[in-house]
Structures are given as structure tokens and as C-alpha cells.
Amino acid sequence: MATRTVTIASSVGLHARPASLFVEAAADSGLDVEIGRPGQDAVDATSILGVMALGATHGEEVVLTASGDDADAVLDKLVALLATDLDAE
């Protein structure tokens, strides 16, 4: 299982548009991907309700995990997405 920690860059955190873009990318990966706060239970990264319910805010760290073929590459892509201010685009 691959793991990455990333700081949320979007000014509104993982809410609305940034959450939607992240969930879509996680779902497109075809892997089992989870996201959560360090030390807390993770949620399914393909669930928009689960991701938004995390309430992850700008500047907060989250932990991503994935299992399956190319898990490291998938997480690298998702980390790059979360490390970008998706509201600025």
C-alpha cells in the first residue's frame, strides 16, 4: 500500500469544486484510494460526500493511501492535484 501526505492548497479546502475534481481523479484511477487526516479514520476518496465531510481546510495536511498497480503514480498525481489551488483555475 502506497501512502502520501499533502497540504491542501485550495483556498476553500476540499469543498465543492476542489473536492469534485479530486474525487473524479481518484475514481478515474480505478484503484482503492482513501483520504483522511493524520491519525484519524480515512474515507473512500471516490465518495464526494465522504471527502466533503472530512472538512479539510486550506493548509491542512491529509494522508492519501492507495493499493493496486501503479499506486505510487496515482498518488503522485492526486498529491499534485491537492497541492494546487483548484479555485484559482
**Predicted structure pTM score:** 0.94
Q: SS3 of 33, please?
A: strand
Domain 2-82 classified CATH 3.10.580.10? Answer: no
pLDDT digits (tens, 9 = 90+) for 17-58: 999 999 999 999 999 999 999 999 999 999 999 999 999 999
Please give the distance of CA 74 from its chain centroid, rounded to a whole number.
11
Instruction: Sketch the domain layout of the chain as residue ranges.
Output: 2-82
The mean predicted confidence, pLDDT, of the chain is: 95
Q: Residue 15 catalytic?
A: yes
Q: How many CB atoms lie within 10 A of CB 55?
A: 11
Q: Residue 67's beta-bridge partner residues?
A: 32
From 15, 35, 51, 75, active-site residue: 15
Q: What is the DSSP letter of 45?
A: T
Q: What is the DSSP letter of 83?
A: T
Rounded distance between C-alpha atoms, residue 64 and residue 3, angstroms: 6
